[in-house]
Amino acid sequence: MPDESLALQTTVIAVDAMGGDYAPLEIVTGAAQATLETTIRVILVGDEPKISSILAKTEHNRQQITIQHTDQVIENDDVPKLAVQQKPRASMLLAAQLCGEGLAHGMVSAGNTGAYILSAAKYIPRLPGVRKTAIATVYPTQNAQQRKDHFALLLDIGANIHCGVEDLIQFAIMGKIYASDVKGIPNPTIALLNMGKEAHKGGDILSRTYATLKTLPDIGFIGNIEGNDIMKGLADVVITEGYVGNIVMKTIEGIADTLKHIGKYAFKHRFLWMLGLIALSGGLKELKQITDYSEYGGAPLLGFREIVIKAHGRSRAKAIKNAIKVAAKTHRDGVCTKIAREIARCTVNSTPSE
């Protein structure tokens, strides 16, 4: 168990060492790298012998790594609800418990998304006033060519299925604070994902959400955007219900796969294409960056008292290291506290719509 007094001095991040396609090797390696580059303390939760054996071969700062052993692991193809019940000592559940008990200030996992959400919900209280937590994906936009750091946020991408007016407004508030404080986007703009630009589009819930967001002076609401505007970066924060966000995110990922497939096909079949691909590799790399989520570390689960970062299942060490850094920054900047404050303020100001 970690030393509580130390936990109060520095930022402590609990890391599920067993979750993800390349666990535990890449997860432990990423955590080790984080201890070399920062003062963050990491609690690696998982199979102690395996973790120790990786650490023995990996440069790291010993003072900043603790291992919490467990031999239970939730696999990617486990049914989330059952897994959380049947494996109460699974690595991601123990990581969540550390956060819930105040022994860690945030957590990172690249494991089973559904089980991870349930793990967080089991041990970490929601922030006061928050109706639903949401997962936000951070993605680079077309503007990324010009401004290297141009990211945007899409939420919710699957913590929920359908959402009401108040839920969507809270997503806007949470997304805005995360975009400005963690991603460093000044005065982020907010948009509602819809099937048309007009205020009345998309049915009752969306049109009422539109009307309510218009009444919030500081939110930076620019109106509805459509599917083709997502990658353009027209808005810094795009709000939608989990069902739609999930499908959109995976559609974009699917297109990245299609591109790779075409690349391989071209590579196999035409010598001229092969030469072209080599010459174009710089351009193709940019293209890959725009569509490959594994380059961008983690997706925050917003609305909990502590920050919960879901790293992509295909995360390598670098992505895990970045996710740990983002979790620590989120804690140090008091982002969760700010979210609670803004939600309290906006709930007072806005007319309850449901």
Interface positions with a copy of itself (CB under 8 A): 79, 114, 142, 145, 158, 161-162, 193-196, 198, 202-203, 226-232, 240, 242-244, 246-255, 257-259, 261-263, 265-266, 270, 272-273, 275-283, 286-287, 290-291
Q: Report in angstroms how near the CB of residue 215 gets to a copy of itself at its nearest.
A: 23
Q: How far is the CB of 289 from a copy of itself (least distance, A)?
A: 10
- Minimum gap (Å) between residue 190 Cβ and a copy of itself: 17
Cβ proximity to a copy of itself, 3 vs 257, nearer residue = 257
Q: C-beta of 232: minimal distance to a copy of itself in Å?
A: 7
Q: What is the DSSP string of 17-33?
A: TT-STTTTHHHHHHHHH
The secondary structure of residue 233, as a DSSP letter, is T
Minimum Å distance from CB 226 to a copy of itself? 5
- Looking at beta carbons only, is 67 or 159 nearer to a copy of itself? 159
Task: Report how far residue 243's alpha carbon sits from residue 270's, in angstroms, rounded to the nearest whole number.
Answer: 40
Of 99 and 157, the one with the shorter C-beta distance to a copy of itself is 157
DSSP 324-342: HHHHHHHHHTTHHHHHHHH
| Helix boundaries (H) for the chain | 4-9, 25-37, 48-56, 80-86, 91-100, 113-123, 165-181, 204-214, 242-269, 271-279, 281-291, 317-332, 335-349
98 Cβ contact partners less than 8 Å away, ≥ 6 residues apart: 2, 14, 43, 45, 68, 104, 107
- Nearest residue (CB) to a copy of itself, 281 versus 349: 281
Nearer to a copy of itself, 156 or 306 (CB): 156
